[in-house]
């Protein structure tokens, strides 16, 4: 409430008090208003109501104040002002005004109801009870007023009286699920289990063909370690409705608590086979299985059995194949997971999370053609999703489509807002793409921006320094960055090879031999480039035979440089 509004409150209360005083002093003029005053009152009251509907509470209060200046005993005006204060959490002033409204019109149910609510909010429970009692006396046939009275009794901590009121409502309308459950809740809080059970039995007697009530009673027994009683009630429910999903799921929980896993699983399977059990509930059950089945062969088998049933019952639901894909991916069945996610997308293309998971799998499978295809489809649906552009840029670069990679990365980066780590990723890959497209100046700028965002990005430090060494430029800076990358990511053969190669270009051959030697060991002799580099260092150090041996090993295990074949044939270092 703003200051203007508080000022209006003060003036309103003053006017109201003055009006009451004047009314006592001059009874002959108390209820006399001129026709002009009546017209003004009606205009102000109508305008106030309109402003209130529009949400302009300050303006509404001003016009209601004008109404009170004309007629200080207008209960309707006092009520409207009270409701404004109540809605703005000024319950103190709301109470004062609403009390006045009820004094001027003690028969109006709306005034009394608001007054009771305000008193209850102000924790004046005894006063609120008196108002509710007045409402019941004036409107003895209004069932809703008895409900309100029972609630007020609970707030006043008169629990036994609240129970009596609920009993009275039952006599008026018969057994009600709502009342039974409320009484049951009270009895449980009072630790009166027998009375809580009696209420549920009363509910069953009122409708013996409703299996849900049996389930509720069984759960009450189960919660209080009366498992035999619970099982007896569940069986009664199944006789009434053998296919009831609620009962089967409850029985599953019952058997699980008794550690009878096979019986518990049979009940879940029974529920899964039903089309009446919605797919969201089934998926939630499978999500619960997800964690417990990761390290349990038994639960894992059960989960996959449930997935088979899910597919059979809901073959046209994308969620079916999505949860299957999650399980396959977790269990290392990458190709099967991709097929599941593709089926999910075929049924529902609108779920971005599935597209993202599909792209992750494509990347893990090094299937860059699929990444490009899936990114193109996804971008038609999500043209503002920057990560899709990132995947497309990476895939195009791997396919040696460097111009396309640069275009996609720049488009995606333009969409990144308030996410520095992601922007750093874009700059890092742009640095790679520009370099491979021989746009070295743009490459260096992109790497510099990536390092501004994250100076400790080991991958960027390694790539940037390596490409500088290949160009034989800024070798001191390259050596500094490469050394840092090795400090950040120890025993990484790629980083070690880069640092060794920079030292080689700086003609620090002994140090180069040490670092590239470390890379050879850590790569377990399985990287052709590293083996070739080591051969080059050995050749320059005069270890010709060993150098040729490493070149030959490089040729055997992979693709080295364009000069590798010629080095071996001529037994000469060619740079």
- How much is the pLDDT for 18? 41
Residue 431 scores a pLDDT above 80: yes
At residue 411, the pLDDT reads 97
DSSP 29: G
Supply 532's token pair: 């070739």
- The answer, as to whether pTM is greater than 0.85, is no
Q: Is the pLDDT of residue 372 over 90?
A: yes
> What pLDDT does residue 6 have?
46
- Enclosing H/E stretch for 56: none
Q: What pLDDT, on the 0 to 100 scale, is given for residue 217?
A: 92
Taking alpha carbons only, the member of 266, 264, 201, 190 closest to residue 236 is 201
> What pLDDT shows up at residue 392?
97
Contact 562, 555 (CB under 8 A): no
Is pLDDT above 70 for 1? no
Assess whether pLDDT exceeds 90 at residue 9. Answer: no
- Does 30 have pLDDT greater than 90? no
Computed over every residue of the chain, the mean pLDDT equals 90
Do 255 and 295 touch, CB atoms closer than 8 A?
no
pLDDT tens string 61-96 = 999 999 999 999 999 999 999 999 999 889 899 999
The token pair that represents 442 in the structure block: 């743009």
Mean pLDDT across 447-468: 96
Report the pLDDT value the prediction gives residue 186, as an integer from 0 to 100: 93
From residue 568, alpha-carbon distances to 40, 74, 572, 573 in Å are 108, 108, 7, 9
Nearest to 489 by CA among 505, 470, 465, 512: 465
CA distance linking residue 53 with residue 62, whole number of Å: 14
Mean pLDDT of 515-542: 94
The string of pLDDT tens digits covering residues 464-490 is: 999 999 999 999 999 999 999 999 999
pLDDT value, residue 518: 96
Residue 254 — very low, low, confident or very high, per pLDDT cuts 50/70/90? confident
Q: Report pLDDT for 19.
A: 46
pLDDT category, 255, cuts 50, 70, 90?
confident
Within the chain, which residue ranges are assigned CATH 1.25.40.10? Answer: 1-122, 488-575
Q: What percent of the chain has pLDDT over 90?
A: 78
Give 166's pLDDT tier (boundaries 50, 70, 90). very high
For the segment 107-134, the average pLDDT, to the nearest whole number, is: 94
CATH architecture for residues 488-575: Alpha Horseshoe (1.25)
Q: Tally Cβ neighbours within 10 Å of residue 102.
A: 21
CATH number for region 1-122: 1.25.40.10
Q: Check whether 104 has a pLDDT greater than 60.
A: yes
Which bin fits 142, alpha (ψ -120 to 50), beta or left (φ > 0)? beta
Q: Check residues 207 and 258 and name the one with the higher pLDDT.
A: 207
């Amino acid at each position: 409430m703003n200051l203007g509004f508080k000022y209006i409150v003060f003036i309103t209360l003053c006017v109201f008090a003055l009006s009451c005083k004047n009314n006592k002093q001059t009874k002959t003029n108390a209820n006399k208003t001129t026709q002009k005053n009546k017209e003004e009152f009606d205009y102000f009251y109508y305008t106030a109501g309109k402003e209130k509907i529009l949400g302009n509470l300050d303006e509404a209060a001003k016009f209601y104040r004008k109404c009170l200046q004309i007629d200080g005993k207008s209960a309707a005006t006092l009520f409207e002002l009270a409701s404004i204060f109540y809605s703005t959490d000024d319950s103190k002033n709301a109470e004062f005004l609403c009390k006045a409204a009820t004094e001027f019109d003690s028969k109006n149910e709306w005034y009394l109801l608001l007054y009771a609510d305000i008193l209850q909010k102000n924790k004046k429970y005894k006063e609120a009870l008196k108002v509710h009692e007045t409402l019941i006396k004036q409107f003895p046939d209004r069932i809703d007023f008895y409900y309100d009275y029972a609630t007020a009794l609970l707030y006043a901590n008169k629990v036994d009286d609240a129970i009596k009121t609920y009993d009275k409502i039952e006599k008026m309308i018969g057994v009600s699920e709502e009342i039974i459950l409320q009484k049951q809740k009270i009895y449980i809080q009072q630790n009166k289990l027998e009375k809580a059970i009696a209420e549920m039995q009363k509910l069953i007697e009122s409708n013996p063909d409703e299996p849900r009530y049996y389930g509720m009673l069984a759960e009450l027994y189960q919660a209080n370690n009366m498992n035999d009683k619970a099982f007896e009630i569940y069986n009664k429910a199944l006789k009434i409705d053998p296919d009831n999903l609620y009962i089967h799921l409850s029985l599953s929980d019952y058997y699980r608590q008794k550690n009878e896993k096979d019986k518990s699983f049979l009940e879940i399977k029974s529920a899964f086979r039903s089309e009446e059990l919605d797919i969201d509930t089934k998926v939630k059950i499978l999500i619960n299985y997800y964690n417990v089945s990761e390290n349990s062969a038994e639960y894992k088998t059960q989960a996959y059995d449930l997935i088979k049933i899910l597919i059979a019952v809901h073959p046209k639901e994308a969620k079916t194949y999505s949860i299957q894909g999650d399980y396959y991916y977790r269990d290392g069945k990458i190709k099967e997971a991709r097929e599941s996610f593709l089926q999910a997308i075929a049924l529902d293309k609108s779920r971005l999370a599935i597209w993202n998971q599909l792209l992750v799998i494509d990347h893990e499978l090094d299937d860059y053609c699929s990444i490009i295809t899936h990114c193109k489809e996804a971008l038609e649906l999500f043209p503002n999703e920057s990560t899709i552009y990132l995947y497309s840029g990476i895939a195009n670069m791997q396919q040696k489509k460097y111009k396309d990679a640069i275009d996609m990365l720049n488009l995606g980066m333009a969409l990144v807002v308030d996410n520095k780590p992601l922007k750093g990723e874009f700059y890092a890959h742009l640095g790679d793409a520009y370099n491979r497209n021989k746009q070295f100046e743009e490459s260096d700028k992109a790497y510099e921006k990536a390092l501004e965002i994250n100076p400790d990005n080991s991958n960027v430090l390694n790539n940037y320094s390596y490409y500088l060494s290949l160009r034989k430029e800024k070798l001191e800076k390259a050596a500094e960055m490469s050394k840092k990358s090795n400090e950040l990511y120890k025993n990484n053969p790629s980083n070690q090879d880069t640092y060794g190669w920079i030292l080689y270009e700086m003609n620090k051959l002994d140090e180069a031999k040490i670092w590239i030697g470390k890379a050879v060991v850590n790569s377990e002799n399985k990287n052709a480039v590293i083996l070739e580099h080591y051969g080059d260092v050995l050749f320059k150090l005069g270890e010709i035979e060993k150098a040729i041996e490493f070149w030959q090993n490089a040729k055997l295990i992979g693709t080295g440089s364009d000069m590798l074949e010629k080095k071996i044939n001529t037994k000469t270092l060619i740079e």
